[in-house]
Structure 1
Amino acid sequence: MLQPDREFLIKLAHTKMPYGKYKDRDLIDLPEYYVVWYHSKGFPKGKLGEMLETVYTLKLNGLEQIIKNIKRNFPKK
């Protein structure tokens, strides 16, 4: 996985799940089992898939707080 750029991380911090059981929940706040399920099933194509893959990597490494800090320090425009 390439290192995400600053704008990507800021956008990730403010992106909500657009559909399904967790619709309107911040991606970073999705339950770990749900993100792991997506990892095994295959992430969707496009930007959402990239963001979910990043969330998976962050959760796998216990780094969710990075996105939560970004969300707090860079309010949605």
Structure 2
Amino acid sequence: MTSDIDSDEQRSESVDWESVSPDPDLEDDLGYELGDMDVIETNNGSGQILLLPPDEESIRDQSFIVAQESMLVDLLDSC
């Protein structure tokens, strides 16, 4: 079984899904880079938080995550 995956460079790779690990490594297998995020609590009593990169240069449209608090999972502790 194969599938095409589009990357930022608009290229496609053929993937044999049967050979992919059921528990892939985030960096080696999926190409994710884990980074630090600052957690900022809102002051309106809603329990909402902002997750922002620690340096201002990293803030851009793609840097924001909008989610309900109940949807957050600490991947290092839960996986």
Could you tell me the TM-score, scaled by structure 2's length? 0.27
Q: Which has the higher helix share?
A: 1
* Structure of larger gyration radius: 2
Larger relative contact order (Cα-Cα within 8 Å, sequence gap ≥ 6): 1
**What TM-score do you get using the length of structure 1 for normalisation?**
0.28
